[in-house]
């Protein structure tokens, strides 16, 4: 058994396909199959099952996958530490982010980070706040950037940048010509909401509760899993929605969407970096965290 076999095995498990794994790691499909067969011979266990068109790990395969991930993370950390010791800044860093920072803040920051450290490869994974926090907790990513704090003794947060959430409407909405609305008006307006676990939704629920508005009483027409989907829903006239003002800059410039003030409600929130306090961060993670703390507020 060697680490390359484990890398190939993990990629097959993650992509659920020998062919997709082969394409992702630039190997032929027979070579990928050989690596997996070598592992099965080594352990004398069946590790993968073909379920229709997908590959699924057996119970033994699931167990090996968990250990393999730890071994590969340890390998990466060793390479980073020795590179750092030698005065080099190189390696691979996995970063997670919720939708708004992942789509509107981090790309530019990662670009600036890459200019400073061209030998460092950054993989950015995007999910909702709860998914990113779970990934940090499980060790699948080292650092995340999220729009809400989900309490856990295992996690540590640091404020990076402030954000403002606004009610957005399109020309197809009856709110387009309104100077403002009252909190009570929200009960009678078709609203598109983000999915449970979204940092934006968490911030909205807290802000409305402070004004005695029960979020569950809103006239929810649809629930969508991304900011882009919500914007398309607003543009299509399905309803209005609360969104980060960062997400509608271009649409406002083109006159497609506008902010509709809600009297007495000013929704502001912070974006935070989040790390697992029980895991020692790699040198690359420390470097990226420091870079975010220095440059994040200007994003």
Cα separation, 133 vs 146, whole angstroms: 8
The second-level CATH assignment, the architecture, of 163-268 is: 3-Layer(aba) Sandwich (3.40)
As a whole number of angstroms, the distance between CA 123 and CA 99 comes to 15
CA 282 to chain centre: 20
Q: Give which of 163, 208, 164, 200 is closest to 299, Cα–Cα.
A: 163
Helix (H) or strand (E) holding 227: helix 227-235
pLDDT digits (tens, 9 = 90+) for 81-120: 776 655 557 788 889 999 899 999 999 999 999 998 888 8
> How far is Cα 21 from Cα 43, in angstroms, rounded to an integer?
22
Distance CA 63, CA 40 (A): 13
3-state secondary structure of 245: helix
Identical fold at 89-160+270-298 and 163-268? Answer: yes
| 277 C-beta neighbours (distance < 10 Å), count | 12
pLDDT per residue rounded down to tens, the chain (299 residues): 788 899 899 999 988 999 888 888 888 888 999 999 999 999 999 999 988 778 899 999 999 999 998 888 888 778 777 766 555 577 888 899 998 999 999 999 999 999 988 888 899 999 989 999 999 998 889 999 998 898 899 999 999 999 999 999 999 999 999 999 998 898 899 999 988 888 888 888 988 888 888 888 889 999 998 899 999 999 999 999 999 999 999 999 999 999 999 998 999 999 999 999 988 888 889 889 999 988 877 66
Determine the Cα–Cα distance for residues 162 and 160; give it in Å rounded to an integer. 7
The β-bridge relationship of strands 257-259 and 143-146 is unpaired
- Residue 299: predicted pLDDT: 66
Burial 238-248 (b: 16+ CB within 10 A, else e): bbbbbbbebbb
Residue 96 makes CB contacts below 8 A (sequence gap 6+) with 102, 124, 125, 126, 127, 131, 132, 135, 136, 140, 141, 143, 144, 145
Query: Residues with Cβ < 8 Å from 263, sequence gap 6 or more?
Result: 180, 181, 182, 183
- Which CATH architecture best describes the domain 89-160+270-298? 3-Layer(aba) Sandwich (3.40)
Closest CA to 295 of 164, 110, 132, 144: 110
Task: Note the CATH architecture for domain 3-83.
Answer: Orthogonal Bundle (1.10)
The residue extents of the domains of the chain are 3-83, 89-160+270-298, 163-268
Please provide the average confidence, as pLDDT, over all residues in the chain. Answer: 89
Q: What is the pLDDT of residue 196?
A: 85
> How many residues are recorded in the chain?
299
């Amino acid at each position: 058994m060697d680490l390359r076999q484990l890398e190939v095995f993990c990629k097959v498990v993650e992509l659920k396909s020998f062919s997709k794994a082969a394409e992702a790691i630039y190997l032929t499909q027979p070579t990928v199959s050989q690596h997996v067969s070598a592992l099965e011979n080594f352990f004398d266990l069946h590790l993968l099952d073909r379920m229709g068109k997908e590959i699924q790990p057996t119970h033994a395969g699931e167990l090996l996958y968990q250990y393999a991930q730890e071994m590969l993370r340890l390998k990466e950390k060793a390479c980073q530490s020795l590179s750092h010791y030698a005065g080099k800044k190189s390696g691979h860093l996995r970063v997670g982010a919720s939708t708004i920072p992942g789509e509107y803040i981090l790309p530019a920051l990662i670009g600036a980070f890459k200019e400073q450290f061209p030998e460092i490869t950054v993989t950015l994974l995007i999910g909702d706040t709860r998914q990113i926090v779970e990934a940090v907790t499980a060790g699948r990513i080292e650092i995340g950037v999220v729009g809400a704090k989900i309490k856990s003794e295992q996690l540590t947060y640091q404020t990076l940048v402030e954000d403002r959430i606004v009610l957005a409407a399109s020309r197809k909405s009856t709110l387009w010509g309104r100077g403002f609305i009252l909190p009570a008006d929200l009960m009678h307006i078709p609203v598109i909401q983000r999915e449970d676990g979204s940092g934006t939704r968490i911030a909205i629920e807290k802000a409305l509760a402070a004004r005695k508005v029960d979020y569950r009483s809103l006239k929810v027409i649809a629930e969508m899993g991304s900011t882009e989907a919500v914007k398309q829903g607003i543009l299509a006239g399905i309803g209005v929605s609360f969104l980060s003002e960062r997400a509608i800059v271009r649409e406002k410039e083109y006159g497609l969407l506008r902010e509709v003030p809600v009297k007495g409600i000013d929704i502001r929130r912070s974006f935070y970096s989040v790390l697992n306090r029980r895991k020692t961060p790699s040198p690359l993670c420390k470097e990226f965290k420091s870079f975010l703390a220095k440059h994040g507020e200007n994003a």
